[in-house]
Amino acid sequence: MTTKQSKQIKPGSTLGILGGGQLGRMIALAGRAMGYRFVTMDPTVDAPCGQTADKQIVASYDDVEAAMQLASVSDVISYEFENVDAQVAEVLESHAYVPQGSRLLRITQNRISEKTAIREIGIPVAPFRVVGSLQDLQAAVAELGLPAVMKTATGGYDGKGQWVLRSEDELAEAYETLAKAGTELIVEQFVPFQMELSVIAARNPDGELAVFPAAENIHRENILHLSIVPARVPAEVKTRAEEIARTIVEKLDVVGLIAVEMFLTADGQLYVNELAPRPHNSGHYTMDACVTSQFEQHVRAVCNLPLGSTELLSPVVMVNILGEHLQPVLDQIDKLPRTAKLHLYGKAESKAKRKMGHINVLAPTVEEALTHIDELKIWTNPSEV
């Protein structure tokens, strides 16, 4: 299916980006190599994307006037993370070329609408219930069983805005805590997964589609720690994960990139956990290990250029650099493997658990790449010592 808006934005044009974080930064770096110019809109002065764009408009994400200013200097507008204001994106649709549109943004900003949309196209998700009171929560837990996961319907990332419910004794405290967010709450049946996988897929307005190899993801404290590619799963699981991503892209009429996060259970079932309609942390491995990076692919997709090859050129492990890792990485920069590629995001302040950069370690096997990472002792888990 071809989207309603379909025109080609050629190199030399200006891309406007809603959001100025590291994803926007890497989109701009990839796009500038292709000859595009960039303007970003973000409330943080000297934001990571602002450092690589031609201009940054310093304004909050819900500032319509600033968004219109962005539109006035852009040939096409994209967004680099899904917490930008969907209302602003909708206003821009009537004044600028926004091929991603606001519909998918609205769907993925709310866990209830997101899971409902996935379920309606026949893709498995964990059974869930919407709760608006402690009584609702108690009824949901009685139906879904424990453990279960309660989440705010909007907001929340890297484990924020959620609570793993393990006993009925904690229901009241959990509900009171998450209800403070002032948003709807959702309770999901806990999926006893063996592994987390993700697949990044791309589609342009003409309907061309491309899928990157599935990544195996390892989290620590709900923050992505490692992405391992090729994922250490049977070929049929990789194929099915990529088919799920392809189906979601086609059924939801995606333009640009979308990341599909999934749980793999012991009996080989895949359940979609979340969607992210943009480049994704688990796709950073593509920057050095694929013919086309996810960031170049995003530019190609929103500009309606032919999509690039997603072929994997080398096994790779991506490891995140959080605030507590940054100085150790800099101190050991001479010890990094010669096949390690360092990417830092230009953030002004280094805080614990804040994503400051990542390293892609290429090697003949993922096991060798993992060994290189372990030998640096930077990411040693205190509980494993």
Query: Does the annotation flag 355 for ligand binding?
Result: no
Query: Does the annotation flag 385 for ligand binding?
Result: no
With a CB cutoff of 8 Å and minimum separation 6, the contacts of 367 are none
> Residue 75: what residue type?
D
Whether residue 15 contacts residue 74, with contact meaning beta carbons closer than 8 Å, is answered with yes
Sign of the alpha-carbon dihedral angle for 91, 92, 94, 98: negative
Distance CA 309, CA 302 (A): 16
Query: Does the annotation flag 151 for ligand binding?
Result: yes
Query: Does the annotation flag 274 for ligand binding?
Result: yes
With a CB cutoff of 8 Å and minimum separation 6, the contacts of 330 are none
Query: Does the annotation flag 188 for ligand binding?
Result: yes
Query: Does the annotation flag 189 for ligand binding?
Result: yes
Cis omega (within 30 of 0) for bond into 382: no
pLDDT for 230 equals 98
With a CB cutoff of 8 Å and minimum separation 6, the contacts of 298 are 27, 30, 78, 202, 256, 257, 278, 279
Three-state SS at 6:
coil
pLDDT tens, position by position, 25-39: 999 999 999 999 999
pLDDT at residue 88 greater than cutoff 60: yes
Distance CA 19, CA 139 (A): 39
DSSP assignment of 230-263: S-SS-HHHHHHHHHHHHHHHHHTT--EEEEEEEE
Query: Does the annotation flag 190 for ligand binding?
Result: yes
Using N-to-C axis directions, what is the helix angle for 86-93 and 64-72, rounded to 10°?
40
Query: Does the annotation flag 296 for ligand binding?
Result: no
Query: Does the annotation flag 331 for ligand binding?
Result: no
pLDDT tens, position by position, 270-313: 999 999 999 999 999 999 999 999 999 999 999 999 999 999 99
Distance CA 119, CA 98 (A): 27
- Which helix (H) or strand (E) segment holds residue 186: the answer is strand 185-189
Q: What are the structural domains of the chain?
A: 12-97 (3.40.50.20), 126-187 (3.30.1490.20), 191-374 (3.30.470.20)
Confidence band (pLDDT; 50, 70, 90) for 84? confident
**Position of tokens 């390293």?**
359
Query: Does the annotation flag 225 for ligand binding?
Result: no
Give a three-class secondary structure readout of 315-366. CEEEEEEEHHHHHHHHHCHHHCCCCEEEEECCCCCCCCCCEEEEEEEECCCH
Query: Does the annotation flag 16 for ligand binding?
Result: no
pLDDT for 156 equals 65
Query: Does the annotation flag 273 for ligand binding?
Result: yes
Percentage with pLDDT > 90 across the chain: 89
Confidence band (pLDDT; 50, 70, 90) for 170? very high
pLDDT for 5 equals 57
pTM (2 decimals)?
0.94
pLDDT for 351 equals 95
> Residue 28: what residue type?
A
First to last CA, the chain: 53
pLDDT for 1 equals 40
| Average pLDDT across the chain, whole number | 94
pLDDT for 159 equals 61
Distance CA 346, CA 18 (A): 18
Percentage with pLDDT > 70 across the chain: 96
pLDDT for 3 equals 44
Query: Does the annotation flag 158 for ligand binding?
Result: yes
Distance CA 85, CA 91 (A): 10
